[in-house]
Amino acid sequence: MKTKLLAGLAAGVAVVLGVALGASQASFAHPAHRDKDAHHMDHVFVIMMENHSREQILDPNNAGTPHLRALASTYGSAMNYYGVTQPSQPNYIAVTSGSTWGSAANNNNQGPFLDHTNIVDQFEDNHVSWKAYMESAPYPGYLGGRYMDPNGSGAYAPGHNPFVLYPSIVNNPSRLNKVVPLTYLDADIAANKVPEFVWITPNLCHDMHMGPGCDTLDETQLEQLGDNFVDQQVKKIMSSPAWTGNSTIFITYDEGPGGEYCCDSLPVTAGDLSKNPEVHGGGNVPMIVVSRQGARGYTNTVKYNHYSLLRTIEENWKLGYLGFASDSRQVKSLTPYLSKNS
């Protein structure tokens, strides 16, 4: 009787231990996958172009933009994506800090003057790796004015580099040294050291803005320059070791003609008084979303703007929300473009 009782107790203990061990093993099995949602992007790439509307770039008869049009039709393209305001620089500020902070002019002088929490503060606080790649900038952490690329391809424009406007970046050498020439991206790809967040600002020719090196081109030729630039960068990224999981490239424009707006764009007084002194929005601009595991041939009519792009990035790494990106009622994220079920 005693033997049977001991055997029964031993079996019971074995069952309990087995259940406990099984539960323990199950709780530690693939923990990263348990918390990772289908929309999560391993790497986020932002390519910020200049001064064109959605209608201009994605016109099916536009001979200057075949690659951009192909990307839009193959992957995702937002019908109603808007710049926040005009001119250029406040839009760069908006997408990196959630507000224009009342700016309505291009301040091409050296910063910093925006002592506000920005996306780099969020990245650093949450251990998200990042770099900003500035085409034709002469060296990492450059704080000077316009600089013509020695190869004549175009000029670096400080007004298109929001990262040198924030004291928390400029006054921190380890952060400032992550604002680098675009040529560094090739080396980072070769070394398999591409950060989780990548910002790319083309020079004044490759972003379709026009400037030294391309100021004699007509509109179609200028668009072809930018279109080829985007094609080269997208192919480079998609063939790199960083193109993993649901990594995504967002291609958009700072602002375009027209004053259309949405999503917490506030009227401001234009710094350039040759324009209407009251400026509302940055116009309907392209937003092309190339997501590795995301939507194909997808568009929708939801209203988005640069605050939406910021919100999407912040959602991805659970950073919290800056400024108007926190307004979930008016500012929608671009997550529908990150799923093939859209």
pLDDT band per the 50, 70, 90 thresholds, residue 86: confident
DSSP 8-state assignment for residue 37: -
Domains and CATH numbers, the chain: 38-338 (3.40.720.10)
pLDDT band per the 50, 70, 90 thresholds, residue 279: low
Query: In the predicted model, what is the mean pLDDT of the chain?
Result: 87
Query: CB-side exposure of 274: number of CA atoms within 13 Å?
Result: 1
Region 234-256 average pLDDT: 97
Region 179-190 average pLDDT: 98
pLDDT at position 327: 97
Residue 113 confidence (pLDDT) above 50: yes
Share of the chain above pLDDT 70, in %: 83
pLDDT at position 2: 40
Residue 122 confidence (pLDDT) above 50: yes
Segments in the chain forming alpha helices (H): 2-27, 31-35, 54-58, 66-74, 88-97, 119-125, 167-170, 173-176, 184-190, 219-238, 306-317
* Higher-pLDDT residue of 21, 308: 308
- Whether pTM > 0.85 for this model: the answer is yes
Count of Cβ atoms closer than 10 Å to residue 29 Cβ: 9
* Higher-pLDDT residue of 16, 217: 217
Would you say 94 and 46 are in contact if contact means Cβ atoms under 8 Å apart?
no
* Higher-pLDDT residue of 270, 249: 249
Would you say 260 and 38 are in contact if contact means Cβ atoms under 8 Å apart?
no
Segment 33-57, tens digit of pLDDT: 334 577 899 999 999 999 999 999 9
pLDDT at position 278: 62
